Structure 1
Amino acid sequence: MELHDELYERIVSICSQGDDLVNSFEFENAIKTYLKALDLVPEPKQNWEASTWIYTALGDTCYMNKDYDASKDFLFNAINCPDGIENPFIMLRLGETLYELGDVNKAKEYILRAYILEGYSIFENEEDKYFDVIKSEI
């Protein structure tokens, strides 16, 4: 579903502020900013495309902040939003998060999904340990 233009523009503007904070390594403030954007999305949140990228931004930022439990929760929410299950970045970041939480078997599942959707190129900026999880599967 699509949001009204005015609301959509407000959400995009707030998320852009969050992106700027991430680029400045101000992860806690970025998370707070993304949550403000998410608050503007009507219920049920999982029905809106905007929620897909807001939850993804939250999960990614929490991952960078090494808050893997929160990252996992946000990324599982992203999967349940429009096109989330088909997004290779969400699959990869969720797999990496699960890996960091010590759930290597579940991590393998999501990392493999990312590889199937995007190919090896998705690993170009990632640590080798994540690709190593699926090497024997491909």
Structure 2
Amino acid sequence: MKDLESGLKEQVVELCNKALEAQEEERFHASNRDLLNVYELLPEPKEEWKAYIWLISNIGDNYFEQDEFELALEKFDEVFNRDSSSIDNAYLCLRRGQCALELTKQELAQTMLSKALELEGKELFEDEHSKYLKFLKQAAE
């Protein structure tokens, strides 16, 4: 993965911070607008830049928060297909699993949610709907 040159990196960081601020304020459409602006700034091929995986993950997270589960899962699938280390990121596993469950893709949901639980434990699920842990419990029975 390549790093951006300093001038472009400053622009990207500024827009990313603006997007994160919008996320924190639960203005997910605004956050994605800023993230898509960052996407446009990345030189081709976009997938080769360090910022790419973070960017796609955050776009997916915003879609998840808006109950746009198909769009979110597309983004998380892309992250997992492009970055093999994603399987070791509990939060990414959690979100991908949640999207899969919402879309009734039980096998993927069980795999991802189980991995998230294995990596971080129940604490990761504390602020999430109880249905995700209930699903894992039922799947284990």
Deviation of the 1:59 alpha carbon: 0.6
Hey, what does 1:77 align to over in structure 2?
78
Per-residue CA distance 1:88-138 (angstroms, 9 max, x = gap): 111100110111112122211111121222222211211111112222549
**Cα gap change, 1:71/1:47 in structure 2, threshold over 3 Å: closer, same or farther?**
same
**In structure 2, C-alpha distance between the alignment counterparts of 1:51 and 1:105, rounded to whole Å:** 27
Deviation of the 1:7 alpha carbon: 2.0
**Cα gap change, 1:88/1:42 in structure 2, threshold over 3 Å: closer, same or farther?**
farther
**Cα gap change, 1:134/1:16 in structure 2, threshold over 3 Å: closer, same or farther?**
same
**In structure 2, C-alpha distance between the alignment counterparts of 1:111 and 1:45, rounded to whole Å:** 29
Hey, what does 1:44 align to over in structure 2?
45
Deviation of the 1:82 alpha carbon: 6.7
**In structure 1, C-alpha distance between the alignment counterparts of 2:68 and 2:46, rounded to whole Å:** 22
Deviation of the 1:24 alpha carbon: 2.5
Instruction: State the one-letter code of the partner of 1:71.
Output: A
Larger gyration radius, structure 1 or structure 2: 2
Alignment RMSD, CA only? Answer: 1.9
Q: Name the TM-score, length of structure 1 as normaliser.
A: 0.87
Deviation of the 1:8 alpha carbon: 2.1
Hey, what does 2:29 align to over in structure 1?
28
Q: Is the 8 A contact 1:52 1:84 kept in 2?
A: no
Instruction: State the one-letter code of the partner of 2:131.
Output: K
**Cα gap change, 1:47/1:87 in structure 2, threshold over 3 Å: closer, same or farther?**
farther
Unaligned runs of 5+ residues in structure 2 are none
The alignment of Structure 1 onto Structure 2 pairs a total of residues equal to 138
